[in-house]
């Protein structure tokens, strides 16, 4: 048992009022479930800030602390630390709480964010490892130190390792999301693998019409996407539960998983998966229309791209904007709209990570936040900061959006143009402004600096954790 889990258990016991306040404790797939003598003692916001805790819930007379995939180890540590009686794990579906809980718009929003955070937080080690390999490629490759060539085995090895960590996101999230929604983790992995199967990739690349049971499939590439697999696993949890309940035990092992996937194929590939693409098409066209209006509308449009770009990327809704950006550069030789906002957004993620690292008091979380900054600013990988800070803590998301908006607005006001589509999100993306006048390059770099600095200051000012925890 690690020191971190022992310390986590000690803080949990302390913050729920000590072992004397515990009547009993058990756990399910993701949560510690306490029956307490006095439910008024635990302070939700305090317990949420314990390293490793993903959230809390009060339901069915229980005080539930959401842990995630390490709940078994944490439960054992809690029992040992509090000298409590061990109980059998609870085998119930998370959605049973829906019938007894009074829902509000705020609670629904918090539940959605908790599920997203619970699905993404366990992936942070993979994201960090992948981003470090991508950073080594960026630093040692021809764009910076030029120590290794693009054709060398080491460059290709590090590149494929770094890319794999992000491309196979749907497979990894299929597992973690299944744990969150009480579905079969193996079926979650399988569903993610289907979305990335080379056969499906070829179908999408070919661009020819394709149907699933006669239903037209929207041609979508799911590599590195998040939302399609999250939605699919969520719906799959209900489908799988239905077949497990209706099929006799003697046939369940064979038919329940087979029928679950059979039902999910059209739902995932024809409805849920392409949903981000459909939304992205309308959102992207709406943003592009700002640029076509010109004047103050175009300036605001660039700011909106800077503020919303990472959200669009996360949902897979940015592809229409990328297509438009490439077309504009190919036709005119430069872009003075979409690329300005996307570059500012990349710098804003780095700024958010820097601001969070300065604000967070916990040493481990502080060092992680700073590593996200390095991974982004040098390695060009935004995902660790986006999922490890913005999604996990929520408040930094606002700081990131403010920084991206500010950087985009400055670039638009100074009439900056980008001449090169730079496929990295580190400081080298500012080289996209090379090709015009010296003033163009200077203002482009300034816009990136503004995005980074404003995001850092805004994140620091807004805070990461509740103020009571930080003061």
List residues with catalytic annotation.
28
Q: Sort 156 into a burial class: Cβ within 10 Å, 0-12 / 13-18 / 19+.
A: middle
Among 427, 449, 431, 343, residue whose Cα is nearest residue 379: 427
What span, in angstroms and rounded, lies between the C-alpha atoms of 213 and 184?
24
The phi, psi pair for 435, rounded to 5°, reads: 135, -20
CA torsion 7→462→103→72, rounded to 10°? -20
Instruction: Count other C-beta atoms under 10 Å from residue 43's C-beta.
Output: 14
H or E element in which residue 354 lies? helix 338-359
Quote the CA–CA distance of 425 and 376 in Å, as a whole number.
Answer: 7
Cβ atoms of 277 and 218 within 8 Å: the answer is yes
> Which of helix, strand or coil describes residue 102?
coil
d(CA 396, CA 68): 22
Continuous segment of H or E residues that includes residue 110: helix 105-120
Task: Write out the two tokens for 305.
Answer: 């791209």
Rounded distance, CA 35 to CA 39, Å? 8
Cα–Cα distances in angstroms (integers) from residue 316 to residues 33, 286, 416, in the given order: 36, 16, 27
Place of tokens 């661009």: 207
- Return the H-helix or E-strand segment holding 31: strand 31-36
**Angstrom distance (rounded) from CA 410 to CA 395:** 24
Contacts of residue 175, Cβ cutoff 8 Å, sequence gap at least 6: 185, 188, 189, 192
């Amino acid at each position: 048992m690690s020191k971190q889990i022992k310390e986590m258990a000690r803080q949990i016991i302390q913050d729920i009022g000590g072992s004397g306040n515990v009547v009993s404790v058990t756990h399910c797939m993701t949560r510690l479930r306490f029956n307490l003598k006095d439910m008024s003692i635990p302070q939700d916001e305090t317990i949420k800030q314990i390293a490793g805790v993903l959230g809390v819930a009060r339901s069915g007379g229980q005080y539930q602390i959401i842990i995630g995939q390490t709940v078994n180890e944490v439960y054992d540590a809690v029992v040992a630390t509090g000298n409590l009686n061990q109980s059998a794990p609870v085998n119930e579906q998370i959605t049973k709480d829906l019938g007894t809980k009074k829902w509000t718009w705020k609670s629904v929003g918090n539940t959605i964010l908790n599920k997203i955070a619970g699905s993404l937080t366990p992936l942070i080690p993979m994201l960090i490892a992948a981003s470090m390999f991508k950073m080594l490629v960026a630093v040692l490759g021809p764009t910076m130190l030029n120590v290794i060539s693009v054709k060398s085995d080491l460059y290709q090895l590090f590149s494929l390792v770094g890319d794999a960590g992000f491309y196979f996101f749907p497979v990894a999230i299929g597992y973690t999301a299944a744990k969150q929604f009480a579905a079969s983790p193996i079926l979650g992995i399988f569903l993610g693998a289907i979305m990335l199967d080379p056969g499906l990739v070829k179908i999408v690349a070919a661009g020819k019409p394709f149907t699933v049971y006669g239903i037209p499939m929207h041609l979508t590439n799911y590599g590195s996407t998040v939302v399609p697999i999250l939605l699919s696993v969520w719906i799959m949890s209900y489908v799988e539960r239905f077949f497990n309940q209706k099929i006799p035990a003697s046939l369940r092992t064979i038919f329940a998983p087979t029928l679950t996937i059979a039902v999910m194929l059209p739902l995932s590939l024809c409805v849920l998966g392409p949903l981000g693409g459909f939304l992205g098409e309308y959102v992207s066209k709406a943003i592009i229309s700002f640029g076509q209006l010109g004047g103050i509308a175009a300036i605001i449009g660039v700011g909106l791209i800077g503020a919303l770009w990472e959200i669009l990327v996360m949902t897979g809704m940015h592809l229409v904007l990328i297509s438009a950006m490439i077309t504009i550069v190919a036709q005119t030789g430069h872009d003075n709209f979409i690329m300005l906002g996307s570059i500012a957004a990349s710098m804003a993620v780095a700024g958010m990570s820097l601001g969070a690292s300065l604000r967070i008091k916990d040493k481990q979380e502080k060092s992680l936040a700073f590593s996200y900054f390095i991974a982004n600013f040098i390695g060009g990988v935004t995902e660790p900061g986006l999922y490890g800070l913005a999604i996990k803590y929520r408040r930094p998301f606002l700081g990131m959006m403010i920084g991206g908006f500010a950087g985009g607005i400055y670039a638009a006001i100074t009439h900056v143009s980008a001449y090169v589509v730079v496929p990295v999100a580190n400081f080298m993306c500012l080289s996209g402004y090379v090709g015009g006048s010296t003033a163009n390059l200077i203002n482009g770099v300034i816009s990136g600096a503004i995005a980074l600095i404003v995001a850092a200051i805004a994140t620091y000012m807004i805070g990461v954790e509740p103020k009571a925890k930080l003061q």
